[in-house]
Each structure stands twice: as structure tokens, then as C-alpha cells.
Structure 1
Amino acid sequence: MAKPIRIKDHLNEAGIVQRRIILAVLFILLLSGGLLARMFWLQVVQYEHHSTLSENNRVHVQPIPPSRGRIYDRNGVVLAENRPSFSLNITRERVPDLDATVALVKELLELGDEDIEQLKRRLDQRRRPFEAVPVMFNLTEDQIARIAVNQFRLPGIEVQASFVRHYPQAEHFAHAVGYVGRINEREMERIDRVAYAGTHYIGKTGVERFYEDLLHGKVGYEEVETNARGRVLRVLKRTEPESGKDLTLHLDSRLQAVAEEALGARRGAIVAIEPQTGGVLAYVSQPSFDPNLFVTGISHKDYGALRDSIDQPLFNRVLRGLYPPGSTIKQIVALAGLEYGVTTRTARVYDPGFYQLPNNSHKYRNWNRYGDGWVDMKLAMARSNDTYFYDLAHKLGIDRMHEFMSQFGLGSRVSLDMFEESAGLMPSREWKRASRRQPWYPGETLITGIGQGYMLATPLQLAHSTALIANRGVWKRPRLLAHADGVAPQETDTPPDVKLKNPDDWDFIIDTMEEVMHGERGTSRAAALGAPYRIAGKTGTAQVVAIAQGARYDSAALQERHRDHALYVGFAPADDPKIAVAVMVENGESGGRVAAPVARTLFDAWLLPEPDPEPEEDAPAEEDAAP
């Protein structure tokens, strides 16, 4: 039986098509709505974010390092400046093969293995990949030309002109001014990287380090538009850097030269201070070194020569040299005796050439083994009589000596802006018990009274304690900085002034120091001969090696470096002090014969007018000339 033919339902099919069209339209509308919502999200809600990302693809911020502040002496002589120099910079993110590029640079510039090793160390510093890292400095014209010709083979490498620190005075102010050097890994961790963006140098020692914040300045920025290869197309915005402040120091180049010439080739230290301000006028640590060697990186050979030298040119004797002060502290011991009432100005002690403690057979010898007979305080100072000061130290005791002498800065850091300073040592019972686990013995009190034994001081501390006497007890911390762009530094944590029960004792002690220089029996009378002003001073000799009981000091039998140190402290004019000086000559043996004449040279240079230059003789007339 044939199947019935199904009649086509046009109405039903039209409904199906219509429903499908509606679903398709809804789907398209849904997709369109999602697309519009996404576009709204990207272009409206997150406009700032994506705009910044887009800009960063073509706009880069480049730091502009500030110009480092210059350093001058009190008369405007340049001690530290900035000189133009050409350096080779590598931007790591633009170098496709760093090892191959370094090898090519080695070949082009004919560098040695040591140079390449140093170059790689600089590249290893933690810098951002897009920051240019200077890897070579002071390029020659030939090296610059070779890089320029082969620039197409060296992507990411460029030669850049910049300023490099230079010290025109070289070794003359190396220990005072210090030097800058490349920022190392340890420094990179503690500095503000934003503040030092684009900067590769930082103060390492001396004034350069202490006043780094003032000298560094404030970094600037430059917004530049670049193409896909990183080449700068144009500058969009520029914020100028702020240069570091220029510093003016109390140091005087002329006096420094006089001091160095007076010291000559001998090892030692000289410090000259202006008592009224505490300003350091001369600062000599001999031998010295050229700080320019350290600025862009010193070679292994040069550093080894400085480090291994027996004369230790890198050692700052002014701040870190610890020496027994010897007799240069006797005027302070004498003041202590008057202050505590254990002696008087006229009390006398008999000197047979030695001193003995009660019930003790040991003889503490005087430098004059024959003795000076009966001596009072003034004669004891003039003769630097050890026996008198052994007796005075015994009467005072170590507790009172430590209490009084500490007021003069002995055993503590005294400077305002010299962070490398050692504290020295003013011994006490407590110190020995803590450090040696031993009791204090009476004999140790005696030798402390003549500046020997455990007692140690730096030349700066000796100069300061002398300036404190010149100021009649008014404290002025020694400082190098006079002002920064006209602004003087603020003194902080100044110890209290030294107050005496009888203020007239200051004048008496100064009189005794004048007796050392001008008295008939003064130990430094020769150094003061002909001076048109009065000098107050004290000589000293400090043992380097001990001498056996009863033995004589024999200079010829000792190695040169085992001989006594020569010391001197003093100020002038005695009635109106303008300059206080401490001189230490290593192994110089005699403070009166060696150190005091050096100080006299400084006194004359500072207090007396400079001699007029001798007029040049006119050339003889032609008819008067010799045939």
C-alpha cells in the first residue's frame, strides 16, 4: 500500500527559521556586547594603565647625573674638581651576545687579561639591564676612533663624555680630602638607587666621604622617545639635575706646603689648628699617595706597591696613628696636680736621676740620668723632668689622672667631621680589668704620668688638647669644613668646657710652657731663638722599644725603626694664640732637636708676613755684557 504523501507545513517551517534567526541575532548581540564591554574596560576603565604601557614602549626615562661639588682651601685653591673624560659604556639589554662583544672589544682596543677581568667585574654590578654601565675610563683618541669605526659591530656599546673627579694637589691633601671611587656591591645595597641613578662614583675616604650628601647633588631626568631599536629620536621632557654644594675647608695650601717641606722625607704627622674656631689649617700624614689613582680604578700593580710599602703611605697617621704621647702631656698632668691640690706651684721635688716608690727597689729613671737636683713645677716643665712627674702622678693616682685628662679629649674622638679618627687610649683601672683581667699597679701610674705605658693618642688629639689649653679650657671640636656654599656646619655634641677651681692656673701653666721655649734651661730653647713672638710649647720623646733597667739608650745599636719617636706640641703667640701645632716624627728621637724646629717653621709661616719676592735683576746693557 503506498505511503501517504506528507503535505509541507510552510507555517511551521517559517516559525523554525524565525526562531533560528532570533537566536543568531541574540548571539551576535551578546558577542557585540561583550566586545563593547571589553573595549570600554580597556579604553576607559584601564586607560591610564595601558596608556602608560604604551608610552613605555616608546618613551624612556634616562637619569642625568648631577655635577659633584668642588672642594677648595680657605684661599680658594682647588683641592678637588671635575674634569671631562670619555668612557666606554655597555647597555646589557641591547647586547645580543655579551661574551662575543667583550671579546671583540678586547681585540679592537688591544686590552690585556687584567683589563678584561676588571671590565667584567664592572658589568657584574647589580644595575638595571637598560642602564648604561661604564666599563672603561679615560679613553684615548685612538680607542675612541676604533670604537666609532666599528660601531655597527658593537650594538649596545657607546662612547660617552662625562666628568671624572680630579685632585690637582695630588698627594698633598690625599688623607684630608680623601677620594671618590666606583660604587661597589656593598655600597650599592645601602645607597638610595634613585638618588644615585646614572652616578657611578661615591666618596670613599676623608672629606669626600663624610660630606657625600652635600657633594653628591640631586639627580635629574630626561624623557626621550625611542624607536624599536632603542635609538633616541627626540627629547620630550627634561628635569635639570642640581649640582652638589661646593665646600670650602679651613686648610691652607701654603701652610700645608711649608709643613711638608719642614718634615721632608721623614715619616710622621703634623696637625695645625686655629684655636678660636677649631679649624684644621694643616694636615700632613707622611708619606702620602696620589688619590687620582683610585678614582677610575687602581691597577693591581699600583695598589700592591702602596699596600706592601714598609712606609705605609695609605695609613692616615693624623687620625689613626696611635703613639705614646710622651712628655707632651705633662702640662695637663701639672694642671691636674694644681686642680686636685696635691701640689703647688712652688713645691719642690729632689731629683737624683731616678724615682723609687716607697718600699720598692725598682728605679724609674729620668732622661737626665745625673738628675736636676731640686725642681719646682716651672723648672720641671722647662727641663721635662721625669722624676718630678713620677712623684706627681703617684700623688694623683690613676683615677684622678684619668678623670681629669679625659676632659681634654684624650681617649676619645674629638673631631667634628673626620669619621676615620681613632679614639686613642686613656687607661684606667676599669679598662685594664676589662681588657687584661689584671689589677692596676702603682708603677703603671708613674709611667702614665710621663705619657708612656698603655696611654696612646693620635696627633689630632695632641693638637686639640694643646688648642684647649690655648683657649683656657673652651672646647672647639677640630673640623675641616669652613662652609658649604656659604653655610657653616653646626657643631653638635660638644663636650663641656674644662673649668678650673682657680682660673689663674691656666696662665701659670702657659707660663711654664713658655719656659720650655724661652727659658735658659728649656728643652726647646734653640727652636725659639729669634722669634719676634712668644711661644708656649712642650717637647716629648716616646719609646718604641723598652730599655732594660739600668741600661742606656744607644741610638747606634738600635734599628732605625726601633728608635724613639720625636714629638712636640705648642701654640703661638702665647698671649693671643692664633695657631696650635702638634708634630710627630717617627723614630726622630728628640722632640727638642727634631720636632720643635718643624713647628717653629709653621709658626713663622702663619704669623709673620710673607717676605717680598726678590726683584729680578735687570739684564746687563749690551755694552756692559761680558764679551
Structure 2
Amino acid sequence: MRNPRPALKNTQQEVHIFHVRSLLALLVVIVLTGLLMGRLVYLQVVQHEVYITRSEKNRVRVEPLPPTRGLIFDRNGQLLAENRPTYNLTLVRERVDDLDATLSLLVELLELPEEEVDAFRQRSRQRQRPFQPALLMSDLEEEQIARLAVNRHRLPGVEVEAQLLRYYPDAEIMSHALGFVGRINAEEMQELDVGNYAGTHFIGKTGVERFYEDELHGQAGLRKVETNARGRVLRELGRTDPVPGQNLTLTIDKDLQALGHELLAGRRGSIVAIEPATGEILALVSEPGFDSNRFVTGIDSASYQALQEDLDLPLFNRAIRGQYPPGSTIKPFLALAGLAEGEITPGETIYDPGYFQLPNDSRRYRNWLRWGHGRVDLERSLAVSNNTYYYTLAHELGIDRISKRMHDFGFGERNAHDVFGESQALMPDRDWKRARFNQPWYPGETLSVGIGQGYWMVTPLQLATATAVLANHGEWVKPRMAKRIGDTVVESVLPETKADIVLGNDAWWDHVFAGMEKVVSGSEGTARRIGGDLRYRMGGKSGTAQVFSLGQDQKYNAEELAERLRDHALFIAFAPVEDPQIAVSVIVENAGGGSTHAAHLARAMTDAWLLEPKDNDRDVEALLDAEE
């Protein structure tokens, strides 16, 4: 029997294959259509701003016009911060086809050192608004500008802009008082009003430049220009002029500031001078300083690391952030606290055998003069800086009343109106110690506070401020750096000024002043060496702050200690006593006794402020030689 012939066509299988192929074709069409639509949405919606800007850039371009930064003057009109013309290199990333190739070409043309290349490339990628120029390099040299001009056709999106660059004529002298400007970083860019800072590459980083940034910066402008396809400007279609920043006149006296710098002569320390009646800061010296101009255009990493690793800490503003035990400089304030609290009277005396002992305690808290001063009243206690008197007074007052009364003078608080970065330092009490160490406050710690040691820390600015309040008979005037903003005079009565200090008897101020006069003019005064030829009445108080703690019966010998473990020298002063015009605080780190190594610096500052040049013939070098 013959086999049936196979079917020539399997209709059912062919239909199945057709359906499968049709479905696959449909899926491919759907996927491709989806990709096409997705791309259209991306280009038309997501990238709409970029491409419409690119289109307009071929014809019309809006360019920011940065404002001119305000100048800074001292109280006498001497220029402290100016703007110098310079050429900057900028880059608009959106107009660059190959960023890496462009950057490599720029590195070659500019002949950048290897250590600066990474920072240069990093600046090119700093976050910016679309089509806003990123600052790559400042203060270009003429040869660099010439090379860039010759190769301009190879550098689309790269421009050389003429701008004004901040310059400080007396950089090292004014570095800590003024602060400095620097390049805007990515974090600052997120916080700034981008529209107002369009085209601006620098912002105040520290000091006055930082605090008064809004006033100094001004308002940005813009101009609309027509360009060709190569980006070359054909004509200007319109403009809104920028509003320049306001000029700032400081209370600082440049000559007095320079004198403070010269007096410290490179030693670590600070000198602060304040006009008591107005609170105007006349000098804010911190030594050593640094060249703030190097930070404007961007200091190289090696130089910055060297400054950071310098043991003398030139970048540290000792005047407002340095924290030191105040030593005996606080005795006038403690005396007023004792009078106000009724624990002492001006004529009351104690007998000083050379030490003080707490009840039921064998430890002796010694006077600096080991055999004692005998009978001591308030005025003599200040003149000879007797410790036993203030151990006794501190024990009677207790830490709570001491802390409260010292806060009245501004210790442990930020007091200045416009000093950026000011530290509040530390005025301890039992609550602070419990929170910090979870320990009770001990009576012996109160005695240490009574002579300005222990946990108590002050800044030079705090010490000068308290001295100014003391000179004012308790009237508070907030310290400030700005005298005029533009044409507007800064009022001396500022918000959040502390309440005046009122004593039960105004004559108590005079008793404390008399004791402080005897410090510099009395026969027993600790700083009598500076008072022999005084032409005005000065009140002062020396202080010596321990850095290295001694044992019960150890005697201090500076020559046996490393230099950085030696005592700090301090001195406060105001003059004239009858009408105070200047209050000064001086701190010289690891110098030794305040009466020997700091008092003459305060005298030089008050002489310079109060006497006419013809009457002030004291030579700075002679002063320093006399100290030695």
C-alpha cells in the first residue's frame, strides 16, 4: 500500500510564524517609537533651557556685570583695601566641546607648575549656573595673555576678562583686623543669591570683609549683546549698570595698628585698643600675621600647608579667638565685685603672711611674694598685686557671685558688634563644671579664679572691652569696627548692648582707679618702671598667667622650662584717668611677668594716642631694648 503524500503546505504553522514575526516587528516599532519619543521629550522638555540658550547665544547673549567692591579706609581716611585692575581667565563649560583637551591646552599655554594643575582642573568643574563663567585663574601675566590671544581660535568658551582684584597695601599689619576675600567655593555658591553674584568670583572670607560682605559687594548688573556664531560681540543691545559696593570707614587707626605690630616685633601675642566713650576699636593686633594678598587669588597648597604647620599659628587671630588665663589683670574687677556685694570696704585691711589657707585644709595658696606684704587694703592690694587679699575675697564671694559679677563686665560672652569669629572664651561656674566634667565645684578652684587662673579664660578683645567699661564707670558701649558705611555714620548706641553696671557707691570706682594708678605711679607699683615720666594719669594692672602648673612648694624658674611653657605676660591700662580716651589690653605669650614684658607696650600705645608726635619721643627699639 502506498504512503500518503506529505502536505506541501502547513497553513497552521505558517500562520503561527507570521503572528510571531508580526508581534516582534510591532514590539520593535513600539520600542523604537518609545526611544524616539523619549529623546524628543528629553530634548524638548528636559534640555529645553540649554538648547534654547544655545540657540539664543548664536544671536543674543546676556552677560553679567559684576559690581565694584567697596573700598575700606581707616578712621583718618588712609586706604586699607583697594581694587587693582587685573586679567582673569574664565571658562563657560557649555561652550566647550572637549573640556579635558581644552584644559590640557590651557595648562600647556600657561606653563602651570605640576602642583597647581589639579586645583586648576578642579576649578573648571566647580558648580555654576548654565552658561555662567567659572574662574580658572586670576592676575594673568602679560606673556600668558599674549599666548592665549594667539590661540583664541583653539579655545572656544575660554575668555580673558579685565576685572578689579582686591589688594591690601598693608597686608601683614592688617591681616587679622580686615580679613580677606577669596574665590567663591561650591558650598558658598549654594547659599548665595546667584543672580546678584553673577560674574562675581570673590567673596569675603574672614574679618571685616566677611561681616560687611553685603555692604561691600554691591548689586550686579547685566548687558544684552548681539553676537555672531563664533561668539564675538557685534553690538550692545541694552544694559543695567551694576551698583558699586559701599565704601567702609573703620574705627581702626592705621598708625596705631602699625605701632602695635612693631611693638610685638614678631612675638606671639595681641594688643587691642578701644576708645571707651564710643566703643570704637582703635587697634586689633594679632601677631604673627600673614600676607592676606596671597589668599585673594588662591594660595598654593605648599604655602598654605606651611602656614598651617607653623608652630606660631600665623593664621590664628589671637585678638578675638586666643583664650588665655587673665591672671592678676582681673583683680580690679574682683575688687569692685567685693565692694558691690558688701564683702569688703575700701579701708578694710587683711594681714598677708605670704599665703592663704582654707579652713581645715593644710594646703597653702601662696602670694607671689613668698614672705607676704603685711597689712594690705584695697588700693595697696592692686598696687602690689597681692594674691592673698584676692584669695580671701574670692573665698568670701564664692564662685556663683564671682561669675555673675564678671559676666556684667562681659567676660564669658561675645560682646562686639561686628567682629566676625569672636570667641566667648570661658567664665566658669559650678553648673558649667557639672555639665563639662560631671564633677562638683571645689573651694580651691574658687581661689584660683580669684587670681585669674584655673578654668577662667579671656580673649584680648574681652579684656580690652572690660577695661573700657571699667574706665567708663560701668557704662557699657559695645565695641565695633565700622565708623561709617558709605555716608552713614554707625551709631554708638548699638542693639543688644549690655546694661550699665551700677554700684551702691560711686566713690568705689575712684578707690579702684586710685589703686590702678599706684600700679604705674606708686612707689610699690608692680609697673612703676613705666610711670616715671608720664605726662597724664594712667590706671593699669599687670598680670602673669601660668601655662605650666607648679607643685605645692615648687619655685617658678623660667630658664628651666621650655619657651612655650613659660608664663604669659599681660597688662591692661586706660588713660587719662579723669577722662579716659583709650583702654588697652596687651598679651605676650610665654614672655614672663606682665609688669616687665607687657606694661611698656601698653604705655607706648597710650602715648601714641594721647600725645602729640612732638611730645612723644619714645623710641620703639629703645623700649624693646629696655625690656631685655
TM-score norm. by structure 2 comes to: 0.88
Report what 2:463 is aligned to: 462
Using the TM superposition, give the Cα deviation of residue 259 of structure 1 relative to its aligned residue in structure 2, in angstroms.
Answer: 1.4
Q: How does 1:115-514 map onto structure 2 within 5 Å? A: 115-489=116-490, 491-514=494-517
**For residue 625 of structure 1, what is the aligned residue in structure 2?**
none
Residue 54 of structure 2 is aligned to residue 60 of structure 1: no
Deviation at 1:506, TM superposition (A): 1.3
In 2, Cα distance between equivalents of 1:185 and 1:95: 21
Contact 2:256 2:282 in 1 (8 A): yes
| 1:519 equivalent in structure 2 | 522
Give the secondary-structure state (helix, strand or coil) at the position aligned to 1:285.
strand
Displacement of 1:55 in angstroms is 6.3
Shift of 1:588: 1.1
Equivalent AA in structure 1 for residue 460 of structure 2: P
Deviations 1:588-619 (A, max 9, x none): 111111100000011111111012999xxxxx
Measured in 2, the distance between the counterparts of 1:594 and 1:280 equals 23
C-alpha separation between the residues in 1 aligned to 2:448 and 2:359?
16
Choose 148-157 or 548-557, whichever is displaced more.
148-157
Partner of 2:549: 546
2:578 aligned partner: 575
In structure 1, distance between residues paired with 2:540 and 2:487? 35
Greater Cα offset, 544-553 or 51-60: 51-60
- Partner residue, 2:82: 81
Offset of 1:489 from its aligned partner? 3.0
Q: Does 1:566 align with 2:566?
A: no
Q: 1:585, 1:216 → 2: CA distance?
A: 36
- Tell me, what secondary structure is at the counterpart of 2:613? coil
C-alpha separation between the residues in 2 aligned to 1:612 and 1:382?
Answer: 28
Deviation per CA, 1:24-49: give whole Å up to 9, x if none.
xxxxxxxxxxxxxxxxxxxxxxxxxx
Q: Do 2:325 and 2:458's aligned partners in 1 also have CA atoms closer than 8 Å? A: yes
Distance in structure 2 (CA, Å) of the matches to 1:577 and 1:244: 36
Aligned match of 1:584: 587
Paired residues of 2:608 and 2:616 also in contact (CA < 8 A): no
Equivalent residues of 2:203, 2:210 under 8 A apart = yes
- Contact persistence 2:57–2:231 (CA under 8 A): no
Q: Give the partner amino acid of 1:560.
A: E
Question: Post-superposition shift, 1:501?
Answer: 1.2
Q: SS of 2:488's equivalent?
A: coil
**4+ residue runs over 3 A deviation:** 51-57
Paired amino acid for 1:500: L
Task: Give the residue type in structure 2 aligned to 1:381.
Answer: L
Distance 1:392 1:268 in 2: 30
Match of 1:533 in 2: 536
Q: What is the one-letter code of the residue matched to 1:589?
A: G
C-alpha deviation, 1:57, in angstroms: 5.8
| SS of alignment partner, residue 462 of structure 1 | helix
Counterpart for residue 5 of structure 1: none
**Corresponding residue number in structure 1 for 2:607:** 604
Q: Give per-residue Cα distances to partners, 1:519-575, cap 9 Å, x unaligned.
A: 110101111110110100100000001011011001111011100000000101111
Report the count of equivalent residues. Answer: 565
2:528 partner letter: R
Deviations 1:472-523 (A, max 9, x none): 1111111111111121235111111111111221122111111111111010
| Partner SS for 1:611 | helix
CA deviations 1:182-234 (Å, max 9, x no partner) are 00111111111011011010000000000000000000010111223332211
Residue identity (%) = 55
1:95 aligned partner: 96
Instruction: Name the aligned partner's letter for residue 386 of structure 1.
Output: N
**Deviation, structure 1 residue 438:** 0.7
Deviations 1:258-289 (A, max 9, x none): 11222213210000000011111111100000
**Secondary structure of the residue that 2:571 maps to in structure 1?**
strand
Work out the CA distance in 2 between the residues paired with 1:195 and 1:102. Answer: 28
Q: Does 1:105 align with 2:106?
A: yes
Counterpart CA distance in 1 for 2:194 and 2:614 is 53
Structure 1 position 398, deviation (Å): 0.9
Which range is displaced more, 477-486 or 109-118?
A: 109-118
Tell me how far apart the structure 2 counterparts of residues 613 and 566 of structure 1 sit (CA, whole Å). 25
CA distance in 2: counterparts of 1:446 and 1:103, whole angstroms: 67
Structure 1 window deviating more from structure 2 (73-82 vs 203-212): it is 73-82
Letter matched to residue 608 of structure 1: L
2:60 is equivalent to residue 70 of structure 1: no
Q: Deviations over 1:420-471 (max 9, x none)?
A: 0110111111111111111111111111011000000000000000000111
**TM-superposition CA deviations, 1:303-353 (whole Å, max 9, x none):** 011100010000100000000000000001100111111111111111111
Partner of 1:45: none
- Structure 2 alignment gaps of length 5 or more: 1-51, 618-628
Q: Residue 445 and residue 205 in structure 1: after superposition, are their counterparts in 2 closer, same or farther (change >3 A)?
A: same
- Report the secondary structure of 2:277's partner residue: coil
- Cα distance in structure 2, aligned partners of 1:510 and 1:195: 53
Q: Which amino acid aligns with 1:561?
A: R
